[in-house]
Amino acid sequence: MTQTTVPQEDPALLAAFEARIAAGESIEPKDWMPERYRKQLTRMMAQHAHSEIVGMLPEGNWITRAPSLRRKMSLIAKVQDEAGHGLYIYCGTETLGVDRHDLFNQLLDGSAKYSSIFNYPTLSWADMGVIGWFVDGAAIVNQTVLAKASYGPYARAMVRICKEENFHKRQGFEICATLAKGTPAQKEMLQDAVNRFWWPSLMMFGPSDKDSPNSAELLKWRVKRKTNDELRQRFVNLTVPQAQAIGVTLPDPDLRYDAATKNWEFGEIDWSEFWDVVKGNGPCNVERLEARNAAHDAGRWVREAALAHAAKNARSVSAA
């Protein structure tokens, strides 16, 4: 094992790079970049891609039970979009010189991180509404800002993906609005889903700024544009009026509007729960990894066959 050392970057190159960032230029794959920049981006993009892929599971869980044909189709289409996002971002990481299969293996062996929200179970149909509303909503808040990040391929991917996430969010909110106007049982189902997903959704923005060691450098290099806490607050400010509009409550007795800051102030986040889930002890961490591994293992003979067939074709073409 060689010890990983922070590479000494050429000061002149580094200064030129930082000047470009400061001037708002975008960094492209062939441009020089500090090794730490490359590492940070790879980490972020891989985490994002993994989240799209693992995120297919909790929603996929309700495809076979969607209560109308229209809802069934829009749910399949949404999960299909997430697969597309994952594929697109995995391919984006290859511009940084990584092999996406290596990243995928890290997901399978449990060493890679993905958004902790997907380690919560989906327990009712209402979860399909609330996930679209909260989880895709939170993703949009994050990704709108990332669309202005300094690395060109990632920023452009975010522009494209964000359009679809917006659609998912509207669709999810519409499911919630329909339930909110429905029978007492439907309203109860909705409120229960809101209660379960509210706090984990706030945790999606990551630890509080004071506990987020990488933030300063990420902000300087425009890998990030806003701090976790700023983004979290923006999400809360956007979401509270939507909850009011459809008449659900949010499970936070401390939630109140502050006229001076124009912010919806919220209560204390249970960070011990967050770290627990991040460390692998969430309600579904084991199941999510098992499901991904089961699909991968069951598909091995299929991938081997496809490779063998392609090799035979290549041989017969070159022999011809």
Partner 1 sequence: MAAHEEEEGGVAAGEAKSGVGTVAGPRQAPLAAPLVEYLLRLGDDRLILGHRMSEWTGHGPILEEDIATANIALDLIGQAAQLLKLAGEVEGKGRTEDTLAYFRDGVQFRNCLLVELPKGDFGDTMVRQFLFDAHSVLLWEALAGCGHAGIAGIAAKALKEDKYHLRHSSEWVVRLGDGTEESRARVQRSLDRLWKYTAELFAADEIDDAVAALGVRVDAAGLRARWDAMVNEVLARATLTRPAEGAAQRGGRRGRHTEHLGHLLATMQSVARAHPGATW
Quick check: 139 binds Fe ion (CB under 5 A)? yes
3-state secondary structure of 27: strand
Quick check: 59 binds Fe ion (CB under 5 A)? no
User: What six digits make up the tokens of 294?
Assistant: 């089961």
Segment 70-77 long-range contacts (CB within 8 Å, at least 24 positions apart):
71/128, 71/175, 74/171, 75/128
Question: 239 Cβ partners below 8 Å, 6+ apart?
Answer: 133, 134, 137, 250
Stretch in the footprint of Fe ion (CB under 5 A) among 52-60, 188-196, 212-220, 304-312? 52-60
3-state secondary structure of 256: strand
Indicate which of partner 1, Fe ion, none lies near residue 165 (CB less than 5 to 8 Å, by partner kind).
Fe ion
- Closest distance of CB 130 from partner 1, Å: 14
Identify which of residues 19 and 77 has a Cβ nearer to partner 1 in the complex. 77
Quick check: 136 binds Fe ion (CB under 5 A)? yes
Rounded (5°) CA angle 111-289-232 = 75
Quick check: 149 binds Fe ion (CB under 5 A)? no
Question: 255 Cβ partners below 8 Å, 6+ apart?
Answer: 240, 264, 265, 266, 267
Indicate which of partner 1, Fe ion, none lies near residue 319 (CB less than 5 to 8 Å, by partner kind).
none
Indicate which of Fe ion, partner 1, none lies near residue 302 (CB less than 5 to 8 Å, by partner kind).
partner 1
Residue 273: CB atoms within 10 Å: 15
Binding site for partner 1 (CB under 8 A): 53, 56-57, 60, 63-73, 76-77, 79-80, 83-84, 86-87, 90, 125, 175, 178-179, 181-183, 185-186, 291, 294-296, 298-306, 308-309, 312
Question: 175 Cβ partners below 8 Å, 6+ apart?
Answer: 71, 126, 128, 129, 132, 133
- Closest distance of CB 59 from Fe ion, Å: 9
User: What six digits make up the tokens of 186?
Assistant: 């439907």
Binding-site string for Fe ion from residue 163 to residue 192, where x marks contact by CB under 5 A and - marks none: --x--x------------------------
Binding-site string for Fe ion from residue 74 to residue 93, where x marks contact by CB under 5 A and - marks none: --------x--x--------
- Closest distance of CB 145 from Fe ion, Å: 15
Residues β-bridged to residue 256: 265
Q: Count how many Cα atoms sit within 13 Å of the Cα of residue 180 in the half-sphere of its side chain.
A: 19
Residues that bind Fe ion (CB under 5 A): 52, 82, 85, 136, 139, 165, 168
